[in-house]
Chains A and B, each alone.
Chain A
Amino acid sequence: MTSIQDRNNVVTATLPRPNVEPLPIDLPDSAAQIWLYSGIFWMSITMLIGVVEAIKLFYPEFLQGVPALAYGRLRPVHINIGLFGFMSMGYLGATFYMVPRLTQTPLFSERLGSLTAWFWNFNLLGGCMGIMMGFSKGKEYTEIPFPFDMTIGLLVIAIAGNLFSTITLRQERRVYVSLWYILLAIIPFPIYYTLGNASKFSGIEDAIINWFYSHNLFGIWLTTLGLATLYYMVPKQVNKPLYSHIVSFVGFWTLAAFYPWNGGHHVIWGPVPMWVMTASVTASIAMFIPTCATMINFGGTAWGTWEIMKRDIGYRFSLLAYVCYVGASLWGTVLAVMSLNAMLHFTNMTIAHVHLGFLGFGVPGLIAFTYFYLERSLKLKYSQNLAEWHFWLTMLGIIGYVVSMGISGWMEGTAWEAGGSPQSTMLDRYPYHVARAVSGLIVMAGQFLFVWNVYKTVNYPINLPATSPDALEQSSVTS
């Protein structure tokens, strides 16, 4: 019996009027392509902005005097492009690729998928211009001004409808774990997104709702889409079935139960009701269970695949994403421990943790999917040399970033507990801020090689020989 995740054949859409020449946006996988390439585009932009900000944090005169490029305006742009441009678009690309294959059904509407992608791009551009022109709403993760913020909510409803209809009309009755994660991502999003962006609450209530919204954005929108992609991709890359479906079941349901409760851990020790703190700290520590489940499942699947790791750079990126996901999640659990939070909250430790998640899990996961897509679906050969450079630059940059910010955060925490203040640690932080900017620059250089590589591969195609890993995969895999 072949397991569902092993089937990789492209399902051709039956067009409603076959005698009419199909538009480019109606072709199978066109939506997936637009989402994916847009995600890669925004990834480069958000990294560029990130590097500019990192330089401003040790050399504040850099690009000084242009209001739109002031640190306080670029930072929300960096975050919003990271969330809604790079992560959302890139992983929706992966989702639009996975859903038709896992359901063995053509996408409900390829045209709707493509149009929502283009609309999303222009809408995000408008939102970011709005922030730079000074129309920010002023609350973290909800900065995109009206009407662009509400448009994102409406677009997600159209996207979720498209994906959900495909899942409902599916030919393959079994529902693979990736689809569970996709369902968790698309169903509650419109609720907490609207709540977070349209809320007119004030004071502490506003803060609690703000964190409820934003942690759900990381936890049950980006993480779930990322994990869905890894669950789909890794068994195919290593050419064997998933280690355990029981463990992925446990991992999924504990994640769905605990992650939505995590929001309050942004205000531990803050002026919020005790209940919010207690519930969120408990849930954050309970996140240990789904993290361990993921660790066991992917660890088991990846065990003994060193040969594939040497050969397949895309798979190496999957493993990097997996290691960083586990690391960032366990780190998050540790940071929610009340005594450690008292010391390390407000320091650069938070920045290090967030970047291990986005830079360590988000970026390599999307890269792994892109290489996977080029090789397995388009059957194109990308430059192995460029990809090798890309991998090592990315890896070096991530380590440099996380280590420099981690040390800086620890140092700040201990200094504050010894009676210091943010001003008194200013000079001590300087070398770490420089190291962070250099690491960011290294990661960015790696991604520019990657973008060049993808561009060359797609526009000057070299087809893979018949003995491609895909042929291997389709012949031999059972579950």
Chain B
Amino acid sequence: MRYISVFPIVVILSILFGSAFTGLVIAPGVASDVVRSPSVGLVAYSPTEAKGRKIYAREGCVYCHSQQVRNVKADENLVAAFGVSKAGDYFYDLPHFLGTSRQGPDLSNEGRVWRRDIGQPARDYLIGHFINPRQYNPNSIMPAFDYLSTQELSDLTDYIQSLGAWKDNVKEPLKVATAGL
């Protein structure tokens, strides 16, 4: 075994890596159309929402807040309230904020909790919570974003209120959409 030379090693390694590359990078993009088409009713981000999204990325919100509801027992309450996330829901997301950890709650449907139609009280809550989370929940470990400017806080609030908000305007009932999964 020790006499194997370098060239065959390089060739076999390239084949092995290439097959994984084909399977995980090329195949999902080419073979499945769910990845490349938006969900019905999905709305693109407005300019202020897009700015808020940049602030969300800059401040690293994604490290503690996921943006996906899975069809599993641990997410039972979220599924019951909001339905399961689908690939097309993320069509306009660049970069993606699916997340890997939930130190805090999932935010994929936050715009349906603090809805735009509540008006000023919802915005006041979200902005006040960004500035001092412990004023609302003494046990919260969320950092206080008191250093953001008024404009930045407003943009971030716009973005948070856009999360999942489009789903409320989709005519077909959610139950039908999730039944297939």
Mark A residues whose CB is within 8 Å of B.
3-4, 56-58, 60-61, 64-65, 67, 70-73, 75-76, 134-140, 142, 167-168, 173-176, 179-180, 183-184, 187-188, 191-192, 195, 200-210, 212, 220, 245-246, 248-249, 253, 256-257, 260-261, 263-264, 266-267, 269-273, 275-276, 279-280, 342-343, 345-348, 350-351, 413, 416-417, 419, 421-423, 426-427, 433
Find the A residue at minimum CB distance from B142.
A60
Report whether A266 and B1 are in contact in the complex, using a CB–CB cutoff of 8 Å.
no
Within the assembled complex, what's the spacing in Å between the Cα atoms of A45 and B137? 33
In the bound complex, CA of A249 to CA of B4 (Å): 10
CB-contact partner of B2 in A4, A343, A417, under 8 A: A4
Taking the closest CB of chain A, its distance from the CB of B162, in whole angstroms, is 15
Q: A67, A180, A426: which contacts B9 (Cβ < 8 A)? A: A180
User: Known contacts A203-B90, A273-B35: does B2 contact A73 (CB below 8 Å)?
Assistant: no
Partner of B62, one of A4, A135, A140: A140
9 more A-B contacts (CB under 8 A) besides A61-B144, A205-B28?
A70-B145, A75-B63, A207-B98, A245-B1, A261-B20, A273-B31, A342-B72, A350-B101, A422-B104
5 inter-chain pairs at a CB distance below 8 angstroms, sorted by A residue, are: A138-B95, A183-B9, A260-B17, A273-B32, A342-B70
Q: How far is the CB of B99 from chain A (nearest CB, A)?
A: 8
CB pair B96–A206 under 8 Å, yes or no, is yes
Contact B60 A75 (CB under 8 A): yes
Known: A75-B60, A417-B73. A212 touches B24 (CB 8 A): yes
Q: Are B9 and A276 in contact (CB under 8 A)?
A: no
Chain B CB count within 10 A is highest, among A207, A345, A351, A416, for: A207
Q: Assuming the A-B contacts A175-B2, A275-B31, A422-B104, are A191 and B74 also in contact, with contact meaning beta carbons closer than 8 angstroms in the complex?
A: no
Question: Which residue on A lies nearest to B37, using beta carbons?
Answer: A203
Interface centre among B29, B70, B95, by most chain A C-beta atoms within 10 angstroms, is B95
Q: Which residues of A contact B124 (CB under 8 A)?
A: none
Chain A residue with minimal CB distance to B34? A273
> Do A72 and B137 form a contact, CB below 8 Å, given A67-B147, A203-B96?
no
Residues of A within 8 A of B29 (CB): 201, 205
Contact B59 A70 (CB under 8 A): yes
Which residues from A are CB-within-8-Å of B31? Answer: 273, 275
Which chain A residues lie closer than 8 Å to B98 at the CB level? 207, 267, 270-271
When the two chains form their complex, are residues B76 and A58 in contact, meaning their CB atoms are under 8 A apart?
no
Which of the residues A4, A57, A191, A203 comes within 8 Å of B87, measured between beta carbons?
A203
Closest 3 CB pairs of A and B: A72-B60, A138-B57, A260-B20
The answer on a CB contact under 8 Å between B23 and A261 is yes
For B102, give its contact among A180, A347, A417 (CB under 8 Å): A347
* Bound: A428/B1 CA distance, A: 53
Give the chain A neighbours of B179 by CB distance below 8 A: none
List of A residues within 8 angstroms of B25 by Cβ = 195, 208-209, 212
Q: How distant is the Cα of A417 from the Cα of B74 in the complex, in angstroms?
A: 4
B84 contact set on A, CB distance < 8 A: 271
Bound together, the chains give a CA A444 to CA B69 distance in angstroms of 37
- Of A179, A203, A209, which is in contact with the most chain B CB atoms at under 10 Å from its CB? A203
A250's nearest neighbour on chain B, judged by CB, is: B1
The listed residue (B10, B57, B62) touching A183 by CB distance below 8 A is B10
Return B150 CB to nearest CB of chain A, in Å.
16
B96 touches A204 (CB 8 A): yes
CA distance A64 to B32 in the complex (A): 45
Bound-state Cα–Cα, A345 to B98, Å? 12
* CB-CB under 8 A for A271 and B85, given A140-B100, A206-B96: yes
The answer for the CA separation of A269 and B168 in the assembled complex, in Å, is: 24
Question: Which B residues are CB-close (under 8 A) to A64?
Answer: 143-144, 146
Assuming A203-B93, A269-B72, A273-B35, is B139 touching A427 (CB within 8 A)? yes
With both chains docked as a complex, state the minimum distance between the C-beta of A382 and any C-beta of chain B, in angstroms: 33
Chain B residue numbers with a CB within 8 Å of A433 are 141
B91 proximal to A (CB < 8 A): yes
**B57 interface neighbour in A136, A204, A348, Cβ under 8 Å:** A136
Partner of A70, one of B2, B34, B91, B143: B143
Shortest B32–chain A CB gap in Å is 4
A279 contacts B59, CB within 8 Å? Answer: no
Does B175 make an interface contact (CB < 8 A)?
Answer: no
CB neighbours of A280 from chain B (8 A)? 24
B59 to chain A, nearest CB (A): 4
B154 within 8 A of A: no
Indicate if the CB atoms of A58 and B141 lie closer than 8 Å.
yes
Neighbouring A residues of B64 by C-beta, 8 Å: 71-72
Question: Could you tell me the distance in whole angstroms from the C-beta of B168 to the nearest C-beta in chain A?
Answer: 19
Q: Write out, one digit per residue, whether chain B residues 71-113 have a CB within 8 A of any chain A CB (1) or not (0).
A: 1111111000000111111111111111111111100000000
Known: A73-B59, A202-B91, A202-B93. A421 touches B105 (CB 8 A): yes
